[in-house]
Structure 1
Amino acid sequence: MGLSYQPLYIATAGAYANQRKLEVISNNLANASTHGYKRDIVAFEGLIEPASPITPINPKLYFDLHNEQVSQRMVLFDETYTDFSQGALIETGNTLDIAISGDGFFAVQTEDGIKFTRAGNFTLSPDGYIITPQGYKLLGKKGEPIRIPFEEWAPQDIVITPDGGVFLGVRHGEERKSIFIDQIGVYSIPEGLARKVGENLFDVDDISYVQDSENFEVLQGFLESSNVNPINEMVSLIEVQRAYEANTRVITSVDSTLSTSIRDLGRV
């Protein structure tokens, strides 16, 4: 009588799936306090026959256990999705804390080119550029870094309007006026094109698809928090840990049973 490895394959696939989920949930929890972070969700197509008409493309994992060509029997596909829903907007009162309410991303200049972010916790560099905590320069609508010309004016305040306009309050004697500096670029990225390249940075393979956003409001003195719900993630973490432990118990049990069967066959 032949031995069936099918339960072992299924349990191993389940363990892999739950391990992947644990990694994603753990990363979400680690970034629960990261400004502008967007939670990830991992989804699996499951175990399918290659001949199935619904076989997805881009297989992520093939199992090849006990020298059997398991890839001819079952394939596990997974896909990680990013939840781009808006996080809570928290008032800070800081002049260069800015949040986008609605659709859009800020653009910043990094050493690897232009990236996009929803994190608006900016500061001023010593030479007057508006920068991220990593030193990336915030870009204006024309694609150039925004710089406050401190050497030309005595700034009293920086004002950012809901449409992204950056104004500098200056005083000449008793006279106070607002000087237009630049317009913050706020960009819309079509669904499915933004790719994570860091905790709260996104890249786009073809930047020609990026357009000016038309449905947004820039809020000065606010920050967007991550859209991670720590309680929900903790509940999911516990559930997935239990499922993973169940998978490993099945693997151990099946492996023990198969080993016993093989020994018994050897005595015949």
Structure 2
Amino acid sequence: MIRTIYQAASAMMAQMARQLTISTNLSNVDTPGYRQQLSGVNDFREMLLSRVARADVRLIGSISTAVRLDQPELDLSQGALVETGQPLDLAIAGAAFFTVQTPEGLQYTRDGRFRLDEQRRLVTADGFPVLGEGGPITIPPGDVWVDPDGTVRVNDQVIGRLLLTEFPADAQLELVEQNRYTSDVAGVPSQTAGVSQGFLEQSNVDITRAITDMLAANRSYALAQRALQIADDSLRLAVNEIGKISA
């Protein structure tokens, strides 16, 4: 009975965490370059049950001890590109990321809403330098053009080339503040990604799937909560009623 309470409680916690992940996705539906996080609920390792009353021990079967939420995985699928007409709005087609210099070190983003700061450096919306292959990119006055390979030109003069970074398929990317990511492994300059000037990449959140998953998580939470209540009521009955001595 107590095992049932623990199982139901762990299921409730897992489904609550799952709902928080889905909520984060839904709240970033309109965030350019956002990558949705996918997560699922699985059993902890099962426990084998054995018949031990006799010398010839035989397996009875297995029982799950509880459930857990898998570590959310980042969905790196391409989002739709939407034209804005702004010369400093940039979108990547491919698996690469823009490279950003922050006080915490290098971070990476697909959010191409860039601007110029007081020093005419190309920076993110919150003011961190966007790196080129030679460091921060400073843009002099003039008409800005960005080639598909990331080369930045002003009035036909080459200013630099954007540092587009790719990561191995097994690299873990962690979402940090302001729609930027860090990685547990070093990336490499991309040789295949392309840049579209005057476009922004939209979030790749699948709204239909997210809402369906949220409803399923809510339902699973409610069922686990009901199972916990039933187990608690049964335990209370066993303690307070079954052992009572009749007059």
Question: TM-score, normalised to structure 2's length?
Answer: 0.86
Match of 1:83 among 69, 75, 78: 75
Contact 1:141 1:184 in 2 (8 A): yes
* Residue 259 of structure 1: aligned partner: 236
Amino acid at match of 2:136: P
95-104 vs 234-243, which moves further = 234-243
Amino acid at match of 1:89: L
Is the aligned partner of 1:189 residue 2:167?
Answer: yes
Paired with 2:44 and 2:184, the residues of 1 have a C-alpha distance of: 31
Contact 2:88 2:115 in 1 (8 A): yes
Q: What is the CA-CA distance between 1:47 and the residue it aligns to?
A: 3.2
State the aligned residue count.
229
39-48 vs 213-222, which moves further = 39-48
Unaligned 5+ segments in structure 1 are: 53-72, 170-177
Q: How does 1:176-255 map to 2 (within 5 A)?
A: 178-193=156-171, 194-207=173-186, 210-255=187-232
Contact 2:36 2:204 in 1 (8 A): yes
* SS of residue matched to 1:126: coil
* SS of residue matched to 2:39: strand
Paired with 2:232 and 2:66, the residues of 1 have a C-alpha distance of: 21
Is the aligned partner of 1:25 residue 2:4?
Answer: no
- What do you get for the CA RMSD once the two structures are aligned? 1.9
Amino acid at match of 1:245: A
Amino acid at match of 1:168: V
Q: What is the CA-CA distance between 1:147 and the residue it aligns to?
A: 0.5
Paired with 2:193 and 2:8, the residues of 1 have a C-alpha distance of: 47
* SS of residue matched to 2:85: coil
Q: What is the CA-CA distance between 1:204 and the residue it aligns to?
A: 2.0
Q: What is the CA-CA distance between 1:254 and the residue it aligns to?
A: 1.4
Change (3 A) 1:199 1:15: farther
* SS of residue matched to 2:157: strand
* Residue 46 of structure 1: aligned partner: 43
Amino acid at match of 2:181: F
Match of 1:115 among 107, 110, 116: 107
Contact 1:50 1:75 in 2 (8 A): no
* SS of residue matched to 1:90: strand
Paired with 1:198 and 1:24, the residues of 2 have a C-alpha distance of: 15
* SS of residue matched to 1:137: coil
Paired with 1:15 and 1:182, the residues of 2 have a C-alpha distance of: 52
Runs of 4+ in 1 over 4 A off after TM superposition: none
Change (3 A) 1:82 1:51: farther
Contact 2:7 2:67 in 1 (8 A): no
Amino acid at match of 2:5: L
Change (3 A) 1:186 1:95: same
Q: What is the CA-CA distance between 1:260 and the residue it aligns to?
A: 1.3
* SS of residue matched to 2:154: strand
Q: What is the CA-CA distance between 1:7 and the residue it aligns to?
A: 2.5
Contact 1:20 1:42 in 2 (8 A): no
Question: TM-score, normalised to structure 1's length?
Answer: 0.80
Paired with 2:149 and 2:234, the residues of 1 have a C-alpha distance of: 67
Paired with 2:44 and 2:160, the residues of 1 have a C-alpha distance of: 54
1:210-247 deviations in Å (ceiling 9; x for gaps): 11111111000011111002222112111211111111
* SS of residue matched to 2:181: strand
Unaligned 5+ segments in structure 2 are: 50-63
Amino acid at match of 1:204: S
Q: What is the CA-CA distance between 1:256 and the residue it aligns to?
A: 1.2
Amino acid at match of 1:251: L
